[in-house]
Amino acid sequence: MRTDYRKQILMLVLCVFFLCTPMSTSYALSSSPKKVAIIIDDFGNNLKGSKAFFSIQAPLTVAIMPFLKTSTEDAQKAHEAGFEVILHLPMEPVRGKKSWLGPGAITTDMTSEEIKNTLRKDLDSLPHVVGINNHMGSKATADERVVKAILEVLKERDLFIIDSLTSTHSKIEKLAKEMQVPYKRRTLFLDNQNSKSAISNQYQLLIKRTLNQGWGIAIGHVGHQGINTYEATTDVLTQFKKEQIELVHVSEIVSPSKH
């Protein structure tokens, strides 16, 4: 009888202990929602894979270049498909011809006012734009004067910026923090290697990093790698759900308080 009584007392003490002990930090963190955003660059010129991506029923973010033959149409289609629209701002690279950038480009030989006016026209040319990311731009994003002019326009319009991180010398993060412009940097590029298996491997790396840090931003492209990127993207959507990772518009990662 005494043994049974002691067992009952012990069980009662253990129950009280576990009920009163708060969850460990690691458990609390593991239960917090993980979010990932997929940005698809280079819309606006009806490049390979563009139509395929519009068929995806998921909250993608599309980055559209200004003043190309399907720029406005793509922005409207993306909005109707439930995608988020951002401006894919052409910016001067360290290597390459300025003529490769297309219309609406930002170059380092522009005055600050020219940069601001060009960006305003780019933004006005596309409906439904909520932010921007850079197309190329390894030279321009490393120039503080250029970046400051861009951020001043974004601040006046309450828009965010995603640094595509084409330069290790980018000044976007530093100045965005100083000027209090909503900002995030991309986690990785999906399709630097144009094969479905390589892109799928990048998605696995994205999942790993998202689970570790709580969020992830991937950038893929339409164009010569468009179909491979599309197919790898459709394949990974189910895995996101299995890993309890929520696919969201990129604005939800940049400014979660607005959602």
Element (H, E) at 28: helix 25-30
Domain residue ranges in the chain: 30-258
**Residue 29: pLDDT band by 50, 70, 90 thresholds?**
very low
The fold adopted by the segment(s) 30-258 is TIM Barrel (3.20.20)
pLDDT digits (tens, 9 = 90+) for 206-238: 999 999 999 999 999 999 999 999 999 999 999
Q: Give yes or no for residue 30 having a pLDDT over 80.
A: no
pLDDT digits (tens, 9 = 90+) for 163-210: 999 999 999 999 999 999 999 999 999 999 999 999 999 999 999 999
Residue 188, SS3?
Answer: strand
Bridge partner list, 189: 219
pLDDT digits (tens, 9 = 90+) for 87-144: 999 999 999 888 889 999 999 999 999 999 999 999 999 999 999 999 999 999 999 9
Angle at 179 between CA 150 and CA 249, to 5 degrees: 70
What is the rounded CA–CA span in Å between residue 156 and residue 143? 21
Helix H, strand E, coil C: the string for 212-248 is HHCEEEEEEECCCCHHHHHHHHHHHHHHHHHCCEEEC
CA dist 197 to 130, 200, 202, 228, Å? Answer: 32, 5, 9, 9
Q: What is the DSSP letter of 190?
A: S
Angle at 80 between CA 37 and CA 34, to 5 degrees: 20
